[in-house]
Amino acid sequence: MSAAARTGSPSWSVPGTDKRSCDFCVALMRWKGTLGVELNADTTRLPESEMAALLHRLESFVVGAAQSLS
């Protein structure tokens, strides 16, 4: 069960996506002072190499944002 489901916090998805059948879905969850990011991709529509590149860019963005806050 996701943190969002455990805490009752709202999940957010990219508009126009459906968690049961989507090319790419994003969910943000807050739990005990942390923010979780859940990414799902249909690799039959989004190649694994593109998903890996997207995850790397997201990681760089999050790390950069966290460093600027400290």
Residue 16, pLDDT above cutoff 60:
no
% of the chain at pLDDT higher than 90 = 0
Place of tokens 């459906």: 18
Number of domains in the chain: 1
Paired strand residues for 6: none
Do 12 and 20 touch, CB atoms closer than 8 A?
Answer: no
Does the pTM surpass 0.75? The reply is: no
pLDDT value at position 6? 37
Could you list the residue range(s) of the whole structural domain that residue 11 is in?
3-69
pLDDT band at 4 (very low <50, low <70, confident <90, very high): very low
pLDDT per position as a tens digit, 30-61: 878 887 877 777 777 777 888 788 888 888 88
CA distance linking residue 4 with residue 30, whole number of Å: 6
